[in-house]
Amino acid sequence: MRSAYRVETVRAAEAELMARLPGGALMQRAAAGLAAACAGLLGRVSGARVVLLVGSGDNGGDALYAGARLARRGAGVSAVLLGSRAHQGGLAALTTAGGRVADDPFAVVPRADLVLDGITGIGGRGGLRPEAAAVARAARSSQAVVVAVDLPSGVDADTGRVAGEAVRADATVTFGTYKPGLLIDPAREYAGALRLVDIGLALPPVPDVEALQHADVARLLPVPAAESDKYRRGVVGVVAGSARYPGAAVLAVAGALRGGAGAVRYVGPAGEAVLAHYPETLVHGGPPGKAGRVQAWVIGPGLGDTPGVEEVLDSDVPVLVDADGLRPLDPAAVRARSAPTVLTPHAGEAAALLGVAREEVEAARLDAVRELAGRYGATVLLKGSTTLVAAPDADVPVRANPTGTPWLATAGSGDVLSGLAGSLLAAGLRPRDAASVAAYLHGLAARRASRSAPIAAHDVASALPGAWRDVTG
Ligand SMILES: NC(=O)C1=CN([C@@H]2O[C@H](COP(=O)(O)OP(=O)(O)OC[C@H]3O[C@@H](n4cnc5c(N)ncnc54)[C@H](OP(=O)(O)O)[C@@H]3O)[C@@H](O)[C@H]2O)[C@@H](O)CC1
Ligand SMILES: Nc1ncnc2c1ncn2[C@@H]1O[C@H](COP(=O)(O)OP(=O)(O)O)[C@@H](O)[C@H]1O
Ligand SMILES: [K+]
């Protein structure tokens, strides 16, 4: 599991540790880890051209001390000072080690092998200032590997917002803990590959944001026991599709069949299309209440105006509501349910539920998902470039999904996801686990199916068993 803590918590842990250590010890730990990571990326340190972008604060200090370490190993190190001041101890260490201060950034940055971004870290506010932005652009268009110190400068550590220009890094070396912004788009896109350097911070047991890894997912996946039968494995009911959108029903069933439930009951007007693709489905033409017992319902994909949402919400089993099912959704009705509810909106649907503009949700995804989960008393999976899952209880960490590919932005892939998540719910996973495990497998399956080529939603469904095997490997 990757855990991320907000700046306020990091600062408190830092203060507590600094009080027990000699002055500057923490910065030396950070700089040592940073220099080692840079050396690894460079391969050969001696003779390498390294440029440090140095801001006013301790983030610049880290870059300067790491630069001094690289200079001592034979690198040619130049510092570009971009702040109103520069860390004095770090500057002295760099010059003592043979590094120098560059007068003209545009003379050194284009020739660099590695650029270390120490403009701002957790103390940064807003996007880069114009001078820093111009230098960051030069770094991006050079051949250099760009390494961000703690965070790409210009991104918001707590939310992942990028208010203006920010450094685009190939890698980010972060200290003590991941920060939420490193796991959430748009900032995540700017961070490149992540590396965590342990500096000994003692952090509270519950993080603000977390990201599952293969091993976490493998532990959560349902496994049939020797005595299992299809009913004990769980039956998922799918209420989806309409005369206009029969395909949504087929795709939701496709996801549900690969999610660990022992059987899939389909309820709706697209039974023929569903059976043509998946003869193993139990099809029911009447209302959901007469379809037979299920352990979880999925309702919404391609539903159009077909009624059924209220009836399904009245049931006493977990319900996942997606797409058209979200339109008539009343917070009081969801809060009053006796069993858990999972909502899976994309940014547009989330915006409609919150009564705000879509752009507002996209710029502040973490706030939006928390707000919705609280308002509806439901687990909310907010789809998008970084899919987020929030529990109704605000003290539970939000999960940021680390898998996926922009090729997933294709019609119908969300239907596969809702079927998959509903199936995991029926198999007995808790709502937050079912939603985040589904997003993880779905993203992995898309990567597997795509390998950088366009994919259709049914390709994602077909790749799910392979993704499952990758995880349990
Ligand atoms: N916490 C820990 O455990 C450890 C923390 N450590 C390190 O310390 C870092 C935090 O250092 P920090 O607090 O000095 O803040 P930091 O990020 O350097 O920026 C501060 C200054 O930047 C400026 N500035 C602000 N916005 C700007 C903008 N948009 N564009 C341009 N400039 C901008 C503004 O100064 P101004 O120029 O306005 O005078 C502000 O005062 C942390 O990320 C990590 O690297 C490690 O060494 C050890 C363990
Ligand atoms: N830019 C992106 N990068 C990665 N995944 C994306 C991106 N845009 C959308 N997705 C994913 O694609 C799926 C689209 O679902 P959705 O919007 O419900 O589409 P549909 O209703 O057509 O099925 C979601 O899983 C979402 O997280
Ligand atoms: K930085």
Provide mean pLDDT across the span 321-338.
95
Cβ neighbourhood burial of 388 (10 Å; 0-12, 13-18, 19+): buried
Q: Is the CB of 133 under 6 A from ligand 2?
A: no
What angle (nearest 5°) sits at the alpha carbon of residue 8, between those of residues 205 and 90? 110
Q: Is the CB of 263 under 6 A from ligand 1?
A: no
Q: Is the CB of 415 under 6 A from ligand 2?
A: yes
Q: In this predicted model, what pLDDT tens digit does every residue of 183-223 receive, in sequence order?
A: 999 999 999 999 999 999 999 999 999 999 999 999 999 99
Q: Is the CB of 117 under 6 A from ligand 1?
A: no
Residue 225 pLDDT: 87
The count of other CB atoms within 10 Å of the CB of residue 204 is 10
In order of 239, 330, 358, the CA distances from 401 in angstroms are: 26, 27, 20
Q: Which residue's alpha carbon is nearest to atom 7 within ligand 2?
A: 385
The superfamily in CATH containing domain 2-211 is YjeF N-terminal domain (3.40.50.10260)
**Nearest ligand 1 atom, CA 62:** 47
Beta bridge partners of 115: 51, 146
DSSP for 29-61, written as a single string? HHHHHHHHHHHHHHS--TT-EEEEEE-SSHHHH
Using CA atoms in the order 61, 62, 67, 70, what is the torsion angle rounded to 10 degrees?
Answer: 150
In order of 288, 336, 337, 355, the CA distances from 327 in angstroms are: 19, 18, 18, 12
Query: CATH top-level class for 214-472?
Result: alpha beta
> Model ipTM?
0.94
In order of 181, 212, 362, 365, 382, the CA distances from 359 in angstroms are: 18, 27, 5, 10, 14
Q: Is the CB of 383 under 6 A from ligand 2?
A: yes
Query: What is the 346 CA–ligand 1 centroid distance (Å)?
Result: 34
Provide mean pLDDT across the span 132-156.
98
Q: Which of 413, 437, 450, 455 should be mutated for ligand 2, with most atoms under 8 A from CB?
A: 413
| Cis amide prior to 105 (ω within 30 degrees) | no
Quick one: which ligand is closest to 172's CA? 3
Q: Which residue's alpha carbon is nearest to atom 27 within ligand 1?
A: 124
Residue 363 pLDDT: 87
Q: In this predicted model, what pLDDT tens digit does every residue of 433-467 receive, in sequence order?
A: 999 999 999 999 999 999 999 999 999 999 999 99
Q: Is the CB of 95 under 6 A from ligand 1?
A: no
**pLDDT averaged over every residue in the chain:** 97
Tokens of 403: 């898998």
**Nearest ligand 1 atom, CA 17:** 3
DSSP class of 178: B
Query: What is the 151 CA–ligand 3 centroid distance (Å)?
Result: 5
Residue 146 pLDDT: 98
Query: What is the 383 CA–ligand 2 centroid distance (Å)?
Result: 6
**Is a pLDDT exceeding 90 seen at residue 226?**
no
Q: Is the CB of 412 under 6 A from ligand 2?
A: yes
Tokens of 325: 């099912």
Query: What is the 389 CA–ligand 2 centroid distance (Å)?
Result: 14
Rounded to an integer, what distance in angstroms lies between the CA atom of residue 161 and that of residue 383?
A: 17
Residue 113 pLDDT: 98
The structure's pTM equals 0.94
Q: Is the CB of 33 under 6 A from ligand 1?
A: no
Provide mean pLDDT across the span 341-352.
98
Q: Which residue's alpha carbon is nearest to atom 9 within ligand 2?
A: 409
**Is a pLDDT exceeding 80 seen at residue 328?**
no
**Nearest ligand 1 atom, CA 176:** 3
End-to-end CA, the chain: 17
Sheet-wide strand order for 263-267: 2-4, 209-211, 398-400, 388-390, 379-382, 341-344, 319-322, 296-299, 235-239, 263-267, 282-284
- The percentage of the chain sitting over the pLDDT mark of 70, rounded to a whole number, equals 100
Tokens of 134: 């111009």
Q: Which residue in 405, 401, 389 sits closest to 344, CA to CA?
A: 389
Q: Is 387 annotated to bind ligand?
A: yes
Rounded to an integer, what distance in angstroms lies between the CA atom of residue 223 and that of residue 207?
A: 28
Tokens of 5: 């803590």
Q: Where are the domains of the chain?
A: 2-211, 214-472
Query: What is the 375 CA–ligand 1 centroid distance (Å)?
Result: 35
